[in-house]
């Protein structure tokens, strides 16, 4: 019987993306590497639990869920979370940032200072700049100030991010122009919390980190994994949780690695994609362990 692997998600570091496996092992991903795996026959996707604890009910979850958690575990996971605004007493310093994902897609966000750029890699930010550093609640108030005064959102849908990755401006200056202008407007606002230290504009570009230079347009994306199905392709780029896989004769397909969690996965050398996909109706135009 083939060895079974359970994915715990894609992690980013300065060395690039790594698929992590339950048990602690990892598979480093490099451009050109073949990614191929299958889902065991008869397998049911089960909840991954919350905050390091297994789901007591081993509840079945939808193949389309990117969280892979049952309702109760999802509630527990967000019960002590900065993202869910349920952790107001965190004493660590936080950073406020502006992140750009494509033309017209800039968001404001916060991340713990100690995490460095990890949050930006995880979100697939093509480029970014820090805005300021300070206590958690000061960072939150600054984030809200930008949303209210400049209509800057704090979320960009992943579907929108994927749609533009193959048609980004060719120059770093073209990619960072929007955050440069927005940074200048943001630091000029009145009403910043006194405890938040403003930071000078200094853009960071991730096109090379993600392998996006010359990226071919994707023809579709994996919508879910299914029992008995397989995924295979050559890695040409990665951003956030997404892997861009070049298939034999089928073009580039995007795999959101969050769909891999909760499944028993098996090696599948030579496999192509035999799981449900959502095909992109048209090519984007001007768009601003196991392995």
pTM of the predicted model, to two decimals? 0.91
Model pLDDT, residue 193: 95
- Is pLDDT above 80 for 169? yes
- Is pLDDT above 60 for 1? no
Q: pLDDT category, 272, cuts 50, 70, 90?
A: confident
Crossing angle of helices 136-150/172-187, nearest 10°? 100
Closest C-alpha to 274, from 10, 41, 9: 41
Higher pLDDT, 280 or 142: 142
Q: pLDDT category, 82, cuts 50, 70, 90?
A: low
- Is pLDDT above 90 for 210? yes
Match 């397998």 to its residue by tokens. 43
How do beta strands 218-222 and 251-256 pair? parallel
- Is pLDDT above 70 for 288? no
Q: pLDDT category, 282, cuts 50, 70, 90?
A: low
- Is pLDDT above 80 for 236? yes
Model pLDDT, residue 90: 80
Computed on alpha carbons and rounded to an integer, the radius of gyration of the chain in Å comes to 20
Nearest-angstrom CA–CA distance, 246 and 265 = 20
Nearest-angstrom CA–CA distance, 47 and 64 = 13
Nearest-angstrom CA–CA distance, 105 and 164 = 10
Q: pLDDT category, 14, cuts 50, 70, 90?
A: confident
Q: pLDDT category, 290, cuts 50, 70, 90?
A: low
Q: For residue 17, what is the enclosing H or E element?
A: strand 16-21
Mean pLDDT (the chain, rounded): 91
The mean pLDDT of 118-138, rounded to a whole number, is 96
- Is pLDDT above 50 for 209? yes
In this structure, are residues 216 and 57 in contact, taking their beta carbons and an 8 Å threshold? no
Nearest-angstrom CA–CA distance, 34 and 245 = 8
Q: What are phi and psi of 30, to 5 degrees?
A: -125, 155
* Chain mean position to CA 56: 28
- Is pLDDT above 70 for 163? yes
Side-chain-side CA neighbours of 173 within 13 Å: the count stands at 0
pLDDT tens by residue, 29-62: 999 999 999 998 899 999 999 988 999 999 999 9
Closest C-alpha to 21, from 273, 257, 274: 257
- Is pLDDT above 60 for 285? no
- Is pLDDT above 90 for 3? no
Higher pLDDT, 112 or 78: 112
Question: Interior CA angle at 158 toward 20 and 23, to 5°?
Answer: 10
- Is pLDDT above 80 for 84? no
Model pLDDT, residue 87: 63
Model pLDDT, residue 81: 63
Model pLDDT, residue 283: 46
Nearest-angstrom CA–CA distance, 259 and 152 = 29
The mean pLDDT of 220-245, rounded to a whole number, is 96
Model pLDDT, residue 289: 55
SS3 category, 186: helix
In this structure, are residues 271 and 37 in contact, taking their beta carbons and an 8 Å threshold? yes
Neighbouring-strand partners of residue 218: 252
Q: For residue 75, what is the enclosing H or E element?
A: helix 71-77
- Is pLDDT above 90 for 252? yes
Q: pLDDT category, 10, cuts 50, 70, 90?
A: very high
């Amino acid at each position: 019987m083939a060895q079974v692997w359970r994915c715990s998600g894609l992690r980013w570091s300065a060395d690039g993306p790594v698929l992590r496996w339950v048990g602690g092992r990892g598979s480093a991903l490099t451009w050109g590497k073949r990614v191929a795996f299958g889902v065991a026959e008869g397998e049911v996707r089960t909840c991954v639990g919350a905050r390091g604890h297994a789901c007591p009910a081993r509840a079945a979850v939808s193949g389309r869920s990117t969280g892979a958690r049952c309702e109760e575990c999802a509630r527990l996971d967000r019960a002590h979370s900065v993202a869910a605004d349920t952790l107001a007493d965190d004493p660590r310093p936080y950073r406020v940032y502006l992140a750009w994902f494509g033309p017209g897609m800039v968001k404001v966000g916060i991340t713990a200072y100690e995490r460095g750029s990890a949050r930006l890699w995880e979100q697939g930010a093509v480029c970014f700049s820090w805005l300021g550093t300070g206590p958690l609640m000061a960072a939150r108030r600054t984030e809200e100030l930008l949303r209210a005064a400049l209509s800057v959102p704090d979320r960009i849908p992943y579907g929108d991010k994927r749609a533009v990755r193959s048609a980004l401006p060719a120059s770093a200056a073209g990619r960072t122009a929007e955050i440069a202008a927005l940074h200048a407007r943001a630091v000029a606002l009145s009403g910043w919390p006194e405890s938040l230290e403003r930071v000078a504009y200094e853009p960071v570009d991730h096109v090379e980190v993600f392998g996006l230079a010359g990226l071919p347009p994707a023809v579709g994306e994996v919508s879910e994994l299914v029992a008995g199905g397989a995924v295979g392709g050559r890695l040409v780029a990665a951003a956030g949780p997404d892997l861009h896989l070049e298939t034999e004769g089928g073009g580039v397909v995007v795999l959101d690695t969050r769909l891999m969690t909760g499944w028993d996965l098996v090696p599948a050398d030579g496999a192509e994609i035999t799981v449900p996909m959502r095909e992109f109706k048209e090519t984007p135009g001007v768009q601003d362990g196991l392995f």
